[in-house]
Amino acid sequence: MRALPRTEALPRVRGRPWSLSREGARALVLGGMGLLVGGLVFFYLWQGSAVSLLRAQRAELVLRLEELRRERELLEVRVLEAFSPQAVQQRVEELGLQLAAFPPDRVDYLILEDDEGPSP
């Protein structure tokens, strides 16, 4: 069996404090700056693409909103045409009802803004 060496007999190596040469420090700083600039460029491009995507979605929604406005206006016109005095008179005549007691100048229409009716 071999004996272990005593630690007092081993020479102690004294290390120098950690240091960099001037060129090494410069390379480290330039590398760090390059990483920072690369990160900023990546962030700029990523954010630009996100903004472009949001603008495209907004434009699509604006077009859809305009289409829905046109459809609503068309439906409003159809409702007004369906309930116009002429259309009502025509339907009454088709049903064979007599409106001699109610001439058109005595007929008036009440247009309600909502389903609840006029407020008291």
- Residue 113 is predicted with a pLDDT of 73
DSSP secondary structure code for residue 28 in this structure = H
- Taking residues 5-11, what's their average pLDDT? 64
pLDDT tens for 10-57 read 666 676 677 788 899 999 999 999 999 999 999 999 999 999 999 999
Per-residue CA distances from 43 to 37, 53, 54, 59 (Å): 10, 15, 16, 24
- Taking residues 102-112, what's their average pLDDT? 70
- Of 106, 74, 114, 109, nearest in space to 88 by CA: 109
Rounded-to-integer distance, Cα 114 and Cα 108, Å: 19
- Of 98, 75, 79, 97, nearest in space to 87 by CA: 79
- Residue 42 is predicted with a pLDDT of 97
- Residue that the structure tokens 């046109």 belong to: 70
pLDDT tens for 45-103 read 999 999 999 999 999 999 999 999 999 999 999 998 988 878 888 888 888 877 666 66
- Residue 96 is predicted with a pLDDT of 82
- Residue 4 is predicted with a pLDDT of 67
- Taking residues 1-11, what's their average pLDDT? 65
